[in-house]
Amino acid sequence: MITESLETRISAALVRAGAPADSPALVGPATRPEFGDYQANGVMAAAKKLKTNPRALAAQVVEELDLEDMAASVDIAGPGFINIQLKGEWLATQLGNVLADPRLGVPKDAPQKVVLDYSHPNLAKEMHIGHLRSTVIGDAIARVLEFSGHEVVRHNHVGDWGTQFGMLIAHLDELEDPATELADLEVFYQSARQRFDQDEAFADLSREYVVKLQGGDPHVQQMWQQFIDESLAHGQRVYDALGVGLKPENVQGESSYNDDLPRVVEDLRAKGLLVESNGAQCVFLEEFKNKDGQITPVIVQKSDGGYLYATSDLAAVRYRAGVLAADRILYIVDARQSLHLQQVFAVARAAGYAPETTALEHHEFGAILGADNRPFKTRAGGVVKLMDVLDEGVARAFAQVSEKNPDMDEAERRQIARVIGIGSIKYMELSFNRTSDYVFDWDKMLALDGNTAPYMLYSYARIKSMFRRAGLDEGALDGEIAIGERAESALAIKLLQFPEVVAAVAHQCYPHMLCNYLYELADAFMKFYEQCPVLRADEPVRTSRLLLALLTARIVRQGLDLLGIETLERM
Ligand code: ARG
């Protein structure tokens, strides 16, 4: 990887020039093309430590530095930046290796076992637009981790337990034809809720059902199972439509920890972590002290004996770190649950459920907003069902495709529309930094230009069509890549950055980094294509440029695949 090689060599030169050991070279792509391809910014900080003139230190570093094989030029600029322009021959050799590598230059990491907690809808209701974030981001992270050589255990920590199920089952139990009534989970939930709020007798009955459910009453248990199965089947249809890798066997819901809950509470008691407060069992940890010096407790058992969301999460950490022996446990969960997860992590550490060698990471995300910058709702102000969103995306894409290609056969238009519609929704979701809110905008996500799925798909299909038009067989291209033009080296560098981006996403879990990268790659290709004739060039340049195009297509396809987005050979 370019950054890594430069970092190693320049920091070694820094040390040879007198800087303290481990002085980082701080290498990154050049902020402006006129500065070269890469720059190292570490000299200034090192000079400060040494109390010497940074420009003089930079000169010494360059003196000590051997980049003969890699760099065409190494210059000092400003107060002590080192600017590097890479050699065409070196880039060409690297690209030759990537061309021969089915992994496109991406190495495998030392394998870890990673539990990934994502999607996790509440089964009482239908999946809505809010679930898009965790589901799509989590799935992209799963793919990137697997591609990087890790074992990923997908855990769909669905909300399948709690008092609301009493109300739902009580309602279900009174219906003539439960199967039909469950066809629309949202309507079903709303009617149960309405009865619960308006009818005191029904509310009492619901509470009785909760007790029966918790007590293992066979009939109530069976009704609960029926409801859960229905809701999970609905979720599975959404996952299949979305092309997300969650399967029924990945469901590891809250209820799966039920038997463990009394044990967790007993264990916390045995470890001296429990304090009774107003009849409830609580853990007080110093780190959750507020401004007034009061500690916000983590409640693990209510005064009536009931357990809480935090209790099942503690059991889940214990299972994932203890039984599954995970190296990392990743939670792709709404930012609003950040305090909850911090508390769970802290109690789990204090109780020894997760050793220090198991990383507990909350990767949070913001909200999806409507055009009015408020949480996205239907026109009538209701929840936006996720399935409706997917259907609408495909329908809009179908209209677009049909308008552009009225003569195309309908089945093909439908297939293209599915890939574009679903891909656009997913790409839009992934292209923003997950920590911020974003506005759900059909026109933007379906636009053919900008950092969108249609643009990326088009960039890919265009390269493929170039090969088709020229009647070329990709596998039969015989020749080598040579880098001459500036547009070629800019594209070459982008192609070689793919492994760095994959590694960054695997570690930091920000899929938007991969979207940004692909967008920059497509842009570098576009500039190359505008400036450098491909099919009209003479050999051996023609083959070299075709190989650059081929590699671009492969990386775009692999990159989109890591994001969970399908590609089209023609559009
Ligand atoms: N089901 C929860 C909800 O709908 C999210 C679960 C997140 N994961 C977890 N381990 N707490 O809010």
117 C-beta closer than 6 A to ligand 1: yes
Distance of CA 288 to the CA centre of its chain: 29
Computed over every residue of the chain, the mean pLDDT equals 95
333 C-beta closer than 6 A to ligand 1: yes
**Distance (Å) from CA 294 to ligand 1 centroid:** 27
pLDDT (tens digit per residue) in 351-368: 999 999 999 999 999 999
157 C-beta closer than 6 A to ligand 1: yes
CA gyration radius, the chain:
28
340 C-beta closer than 6 A to ligand 1: no
pLDDT (tens digit per residue) in 297-322: 999 999 999 999 999 999 999 999 99
What pLDDT was estimated at residue 499?
Answer: 97
Q: Which residue has the least CA distance to atom 1 on ligand 1?
A: 159
Asked if 326 and 320 touch (Cβ cutoff 8 Å), the reply is yes
**Distance (Å) from CA 334 to ligand 1 centroid:** 8
Please state the length of the chain.
571
pLDDT (tens digit per residue) in 247-270: 999 999 999 999 999 999 999 999
Q: Give the helix ranges, DSSP H, for 174-308.
A: 178-181, 185-198, 200-214, 218-242, 261-270
What residues have CB less than 8 Å from 553, skipping those under 6 apart? 460, 463, 464
126 C-beta closer than 6 A to ligand 1: no
What pLDDT was estimated at residue 291?
Answer: 87
Q: DSSP class of residue 20?
A: P
What pLDDT was estimated at residue 553?
Answer: 98
Q: Which residue has the least CA distance to atom 11 on ligand 1?
A: 313
**Distance (Å) from CA 157 to ligand 1 centroid:** 6
**Distance (Å) from CA 352 to ligand 1 centroid:** 22
Domains of the chain: 2-86 (3.30.1360.70), 164-227 (no CATH)
Distance of CA 99 to the CA centre of its chain: 27
Spans of the chain below 50 pLDDT: none
Among positive and negative, which fits the CA dihedral 531, 537, 543, 546?
positive
Ligand 1 closest atom vs CA 309: 11
Q: Give the helix ranges, DSSP H, for 51-156.
A: 54-64, 88-99, 131-147
Pocket test for ligand 1, best of 118, 120, 228 (most atoms within 8 A of CB): 120
Residue in 516, 517, 482 with CA at minimum distance from that of residue 498 = 517
What pLDDT was estimated at residue 180?
Answer: 81
122 C-beta closer than 6 A to ligand 1: yes
143 C-beta closer than 6 A to ligand 1: no
195 C-beta closer than 6 A to ligand 1: no
> HEC states along 372-403?
CCCECCCCCCCCCEHHHHHHHHHHHHHHHHHH
What pLDDT was estimated at residue 178?
Answer: 78
488 C-beta closer than 6 A to ligand 1: no
**Distance (Å) from CA 121 to ligand 1 centroid:** 7
Q: Which long-range contacts (CB under 8 A, 24 or more apart) does 280-289 make?
A: 283/347, 283/350, 285/343, 285/346, 285/347, 285/350, 287/346, 288/342, 288/343, 288/346
Strand 298-301 vs strand 280-283: parallel, antiparallel, or unpaired? antiparallel
C-alpha distances (whole Å) from 71 to each of 64, 93, 373 are 14, 13, 48
